[in-house]
């Protein structure tokens, strides 16, 4: 996603035109096991419920290309084991806020880098 925002900023800087990035993000099962997102987003989650997850889409593509199902399952099992081991190890790691930064974020973190920030505030007298 960071790359998409970088491209949008570069486009705006080069052509002096605004860019709209249309992103829909969702968690199929909500924020946690107890959350039911269909209460707050019923239309979107009706669509989400009918979606095939990315792993199954890719698995079906590989099967259609003639990859052996046992080989695909071995890859899935290996990935799951890696995730489980990473989760186990992560419990002992302590992070600092600086650890969460990355080069892509640093490129877009400064809001004046790609253009001036417009003052969109309302003066205090108008609010009163």
pLDDT of residue 68: 96
Measured CA to CA, the distance from residue 61 to residue 66 in angstroms comes to: 9
pLDDT in tens, 73-106: 999 999 999 999 999 998 888 877 676 767 777 7
Q: Residue 17 — φ and ψ, nearest 5°?
A: -130, 145
d(CA 24, CA 45): 12
Q: Residue 122's pLDDT is what? A: 87
Q: Indicate the domain borders of the chain.
A: 1-51, 53-94
Full-model pTM: 0.47
Q: Which residues of the chain have pLDDT under 70?
A: 29-30, 32-33, 97, 99, 101, 107-117
């Amino acid at each position: 996603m960071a790359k998409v925002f970088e491209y949008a900023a570069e486009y705006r800087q080069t052509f002096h035109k605004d860019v709209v990035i249309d992103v829909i993000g969702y968690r199929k099962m909500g924020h946690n096991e107890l959350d039911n997102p269909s209460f707050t987003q019923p239309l979107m989650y009706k669509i989400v419920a009918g979606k095939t997850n990315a792993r199954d889409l890719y698995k079906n593509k590989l099967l259609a290309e003639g990859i052996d199902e046992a080989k695909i399952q071995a890859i899935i099992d290996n990935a799951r084991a890696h995730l489980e081991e990473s989760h186990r190890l992560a419990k002992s790691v302590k992070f600092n806020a600086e650890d969460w930064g990355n080069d892509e974020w640093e490129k877009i973190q400064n809001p004046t880098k790609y253009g001036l920030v417009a003052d969109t505030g309302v003066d205090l007298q108008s609010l009163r």
